[in-house]
């Protein structure tokens, strides 16, 4: 079982958390085209290796935070606050065009 470290509560089992997806994805404007909205909803990178993700300690303090996790080994490399800048070593989350 994967264990995550909440910045406020410490290390806990993954079952206490919910993943909120990739960090730093910009939502398009409300008047965007259907094609642009579709790219935002459905076309994301799915990297193998280090990935920046947003998590919520749902069954704990309820706080959101970001982490860098290896998608192959599930090893967590770094945990940082939701308003903090992403560490430079993370890959960017770009939208892939169909």
Inside any domain, residue 16: yes
Inside any domain, residue 86: no
Digit-by-digit pLDDT tens for the chain (98 residues) are 789 999 999 999 999 999 998 887 889 999 999 999 999 999 887 879 999 999 999 999 999 999 999 999 989 999 999 999 888 764 444 444 45
Domains: count for the chain: 1
- Containing structural domain, residue 49: 3-81
Overall pTM > 0.85: no
State the CATH number of the domain containing residue 24: 3.30.2270.10
d(CA 70, CA 18): 17
Inside any domain, residue 95: no
Inside any domain, residue 87: no
d(CA 56, CA 47): 21
């Amino acid at each position: 079982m994967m264990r995550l470290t909440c910045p406020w509560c410490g290390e806990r089992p993954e079952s206490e958390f919910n993943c909120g997806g990739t960090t730093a994805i910009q939502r398009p404007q409300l008047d965007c085209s259907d094609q642009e909205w579709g790219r935002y909803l459905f076309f994301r990178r799915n990297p193998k290796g280090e990935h920046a993700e947003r998590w919520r300690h749902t069954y704990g303090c309820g706080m959101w935070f970001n982490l860098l996790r290896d998608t192959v080994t599930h090893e967590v490399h770094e945990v940082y606050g939701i308003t903090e800048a992403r560490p430079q070593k993370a890959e960017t989350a770009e939208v892939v065009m169909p």
